Structure formats: C-alpha cells, structure tokens
Amino acid sequence: VCITPDGRHIVSGSEDMIVRVWSLDTHKQVCQLTGHSDCVRSICITPDGKRIVSGSWDNSVRIWLLE
C-alpha cells in the first residue's frame, strides 16, 4: 500500500489483479483500476501524486493517472 503525498488517499494492490484507491476521510473505495492479468505485487505513487505505478506477476508494469 501507499499513501498519496497529500495524505488524502491510500492505494492498494491485491491478488484479485485490481489496484484500488481509498479515501482516508471516508474509509471508502474511490475507484478501482483493472488491467493486470495476475496478482498486483507492488504499488508506488509518484512524488507529485499524479500517477500510480503498479507491478504484477503478469510481468507488466502499468502507469495510471490519479485524478
């Protein structure tokens, strides 16, 4: 898991191949990002807080816009 630089969201990846964004204010899921075909094993947020980078056991790295 990672916390966005502004402290407003948590980003998580999981075995169900989905990257999820959670609100720290409401404790609810804000969105989910699909595209990996195997477990998501690594998550990172760029220092500017605009992109999520996810790595998967499907041998891919994906870059997502966080808006």
CB 23 within 8 A of CB 31: no
Residues recorded for the chain: 67
Alpha carbons 59 and 3: distance in angstroms, whole number: 24
pLDDT at res. 47:
96
Query: Residue 61: beta bridge partners?
Result: 55
Mean per-residue pLDDT over the chain, rounded: 96
Alpha carbons 52 and 63: distance in angstroms, whole number: 6
Measured over the CA atoms of residue 13, residue 22, residue 4 and residue 62, the dihedral's sign is: positive
pLDDT at res. 67:
77
Q: What pLDDT digit, counting tens, does each position of 34-66 carry? A: 999 999 999 999 999 999 999 999 999 999 998
Mean pLDDT of 14-25: 97
pLDDT at res. 54:
98
pTM: 0.91
pLDDT at res. 37:
97
